[in-house]
């Protein structure tokens, strides 16, 4: 077993493992061109901004029909089948049938063909696993798929590895595309960033080298309260690689167990350590039993989500930094360090630049956490870009609450929102506030809007202590009003400042937060 938790750690390339039984023939230049194009399309980010480029690549492969907006790109399959049939008629049915320089291209083509054939079964497995919960579900088609991969010349270990990658691709697509509602440009950017967070910007390199080495890539999710940072973190956590165990013919974990979340602001300082690292019986008064901390409960390849990271004290930051650097932690009262093999995702709605300036957030911890920093967009920006997103979200929230997305209920909710709130309402509590609004409308038939959240820690409190200069105070006030009302004009009216001055103050705050 490899220390990274799998018996599938066999390097993908070069593929010398299978005996060469056929006389090798190189691909023709047309075949090479086709397979290279196909490789580029299938490894691209399915939420790519380069949709035009993708569509043009796709149409070169498959003719005038555009590439469908789905990751398995099944429209690419008919031309692929034709090219593969031509190869087969020349006796080229296995990766070993071509010389090394062509092998990679043929390998990707075979893999894509088999991935696509089982897309529906993978999707069914995701549904089954969700119902089944913690125990890994059987994979009814595993045997058949392993056989087919072996028939193409892959070794049994490689077959196991590709099963893990196929499943990961399908889960990532499912959780990133469907668990987060909304198709505004900001949401597309978010999905694009989440996909890259899982597969990096070069999915081929990930598949060849990084697939079991992602533990050192920590992620920081930033965004206002209620925007969906927790949902984004869960999408990453459930999309990690789960090794396939060739002995039991099952995945080693259920994806329902690969994501563990903790809201750090809910724990008093004295309990955080024990919650995170665990404790031994008798370590302190009240420790009546051994307790497994979250770092110990997180599976290898899983993700631990540290929500409200901006709220933890400097001593706890130092301990967390140590875990990230050493990959080890020690339960309270124990002398035996344990290894942490998961990924860390942290989030905060607070301004980390401000906390760092004030010395409340350590720079070294910030840099260690931020291999990837992803901004989760506020709801008002999403609705400005794409007003139709409100209906999509209301539909989802109504379904969550009532079990169905009945059109008449959605229409009634939208009517109340249109009547009771200004068109440019700023949604200070974001999607969580919208959830609350939907509940209120179902119960009471109206919703009058919420107060914008104030970050007392960072400006109001400082103002009452006499710590802010007049320009700082004005900037913070303008930013709060802007968050609440969403337009410079509205803030200008309230503050009796001109619009340009308001914009200057709001943007000064935004650039400080970059
Ligand atoms: N794009 C989205 N699609 C569907 N539901 C969403 C989306 N964004 C947020 N939600 C829902 O909104 C609620 C709040 O989301 P979440 O808890 O992830 O926000 P958050 O940014 O982590 O908030 P906080 O900073 O307060 O922890 C959840 O019920 C979540 O399911």
Is the CA virtual torsion 22, 25, 26, 32 positive or negative?
negative
Query: Phi/psi class of residue 274: alpha, beta or left (left: φ > 0; alpha: ψ in -120 to 50)?
Result: alpha
- Contact in structure between 294 and 276 (CB atoms under 8 Å): yes
Q: How far apart are alpha carbons 131 and 5 in whole angstroms?
A: 25
103 domain-assigned = no
> Are 399 and 434 in the same domain?
yes
pLDDT value, residue 70: 53
CA distances from 358 to 132, 317, 362, 454, 459 (A): 47, 15, 10, 18, 12
What is the 3-state composition of the chain as percent helix, strand, coil, each rounded to the nearest 5? 55, 10, 35
> How far, in Å, is the centroid of ligand 1 from the Cα of 432?
6
What angle (nearest 5°) sits at the alpha carbon of residue 383, between those of residues 226 and 476? 60
Does any ligand 1 atom lie closer than 6 A to the CB of residue 226? yes
Pocket test residue of 228, 395, 433, 434 for ligand 1, highest count of atoms within 8 A of CB: 228
pLDDT in tens, the chain (514 residues): 333 333 333 333 334 444 545 578 889 999 998 899 888 888 888 887 556 655 666 666 665 454 445 544 667 788 888 899 999 998 898 999 899 999 999 999 999 999 999 999 999 999 999 999 999 999 999 999 999 999 999 999 999 999 999 999 999 999 998 878 888 999 999 999 999 999 998 888 888 888 877 788 899 999 998 999 999 999 999 999 999 999 999 999 999 999 999 999 888 887 898 999 998 887 777 777 888 999 999 988 899 999 999 989 999 999 999 999 999 999 988 888 999 989 999 999 888 888 898 888 999 999 999 889 999 999 999 999 999 999 999 999 999 988 888 899 999 999 999 988 888 888 989 999 999 999 999 998 888 887 544 454 467 767 766 777 888 888 888 888 887 777 778 888 889 998 888 888 877 755 444 3
Instruction: Give, using CA atoms, the residue closest to atom 29 of ligand 1.
Output: 432
> How far, in Å, is the centroid of ligand 1 from the Cα of 186?
15
> How far, in Å, is the centroid of ligand 1 from the Cα of 184?
16
> Are 461 and 504 in the same domain?
yes
Q: How far apart are alpha carbons 242 and 233 in whole angstroms?
A: 17
> How far, in Å, is the centroid of ligand 1 from the Cα of 259?
16
Does any ligand 1 atom lie closer than 6 A to the CB of residue 306? no
Angle between helices 314-326 and 269-277 (to 10 degrees): 10
345 domain-assigned = no
Structure ipTM: 0.96
> Are 469 and 496 in the same domain?
yes
> How far, in Å, is the centroid of ligand 1 from the Cα of 431?
6
426 domain-assigned = yes
**One-letter-per-residue 3-state SS of 215-261:** CCCCEEEECCCCCCHHHHHHHHHCCCCCCEECCCCEECCCHHHCEEE
397 domain-assigned = yes
Counting the structural domains of the chain, the total is 2
Give the domain range for residue 475: 456-513
Q: How far apart are alpha carbons 295 and 304 in whole angstroms?
A: 7
Number of continuous H segments (helices) and E segments (strands) in the chain: 23, 11
> Are 496 and 466 in the same domain?
yes
pLDDT value, residue 21: 53
């Amino acid at each position: 077993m490899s220390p990274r938790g799998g018996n599938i750690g066999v390097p993908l390339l070069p593929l010398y493992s299978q005996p060469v039984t056929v006389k090798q023939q190189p691909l023709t230049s047309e075949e090479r061109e086709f397979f290279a194009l196909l490789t580029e399309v299938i490894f691209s980010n399915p939420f790519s901004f380069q949709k035009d480029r993708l569509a043009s690549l796709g149409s070169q492969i498959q003719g005038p029909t555009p590439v469908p907006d789905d990751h398995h790109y099944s429209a690419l399959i008919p031309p692929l089948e034709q090219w593969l049939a031509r190869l087969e008629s020349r006796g080229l049915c296995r990766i070993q049938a071509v010389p090394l320089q062509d092998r990679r291209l043929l390998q990707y083509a075979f893999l894509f063909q088999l991935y696509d054939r089982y897309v529906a079964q993978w999707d069914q497995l995701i549904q089954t696993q969700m119902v089944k919960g913690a125990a890994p579900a059987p994979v009814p088609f595993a045997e058949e798929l392993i056989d087919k991969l072996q028939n193409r010349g892959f070794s049994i270990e490689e077959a196991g590895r590709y099963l893990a990658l196929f499943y990961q691709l399908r889960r990532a697509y499912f959780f990133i595309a469907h668990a987060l509602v909304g198709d505004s440009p900001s949401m597309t950017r978010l999905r694009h960033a989440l996909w890259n967070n899982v597969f990096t910007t070069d999915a081929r390199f990930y598949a060849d080298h990084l697939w079991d080495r992602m533990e050192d890539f920590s992620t920081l999710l930033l965004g206002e309260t209620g925007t969906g940072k927790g949902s984004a973190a869960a999408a990453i956590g459930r999309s990690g690689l789960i090794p396939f165990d060739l002995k039991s013919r099952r995945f080693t974990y259920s994806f329902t167990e690969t994501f563990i979340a903790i809201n750090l602001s809910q724990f008093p300082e004295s309990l955080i350590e024990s919650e995170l690292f665990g404790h031994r019986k008798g370590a302190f008064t009240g420790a009546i039993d051994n307790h497994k901390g979250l770092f110990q409960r997180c599976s290898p390849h899983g993700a631990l989500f540290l929500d409200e990271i901006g709220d933890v004290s400097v001593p706890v930051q130092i301990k967390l930094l140590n875990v990230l650097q050493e990959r080890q932690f020690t339960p309270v009262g124990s002398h035996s360090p344990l290894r942490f093999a998961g990924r860390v995702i942290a989030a905060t709605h607070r301004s980390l630049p401000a906390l760092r300036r004030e010395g409340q957030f350590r720079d070294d911890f910030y840099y260690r956490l931020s291999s990837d920093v992803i901004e989760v967009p506020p709801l008002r920006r999403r609705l400005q870009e794409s007003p139709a997103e409100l209906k999509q979200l209301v539909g989802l929230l109504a379904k969550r609450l009532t079990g169905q997305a009945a059109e008449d209920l959605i229409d009634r909710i939208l009517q109340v929102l249109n009547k009771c709130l200004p068109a440019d309402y700023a949604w200070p509590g974001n999607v969580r506030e919208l959830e609350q609004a939907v509940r209120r409308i179902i119960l009471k038939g109206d919703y009058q809007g919420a107060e914008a959240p104030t970050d007392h820690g960072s400006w109001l409190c400082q103002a009452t202590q006499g710590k802010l200069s007049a320009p700082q105070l004005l900037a913070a006030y303008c930013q709060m009003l802007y968050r609440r009302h969403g337009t410079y004009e509205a803030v200008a009216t309230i503050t009796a400042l001109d619009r340009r001055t308001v914009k200057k103050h709001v943007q000064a705050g935004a650039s400080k937060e970059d």
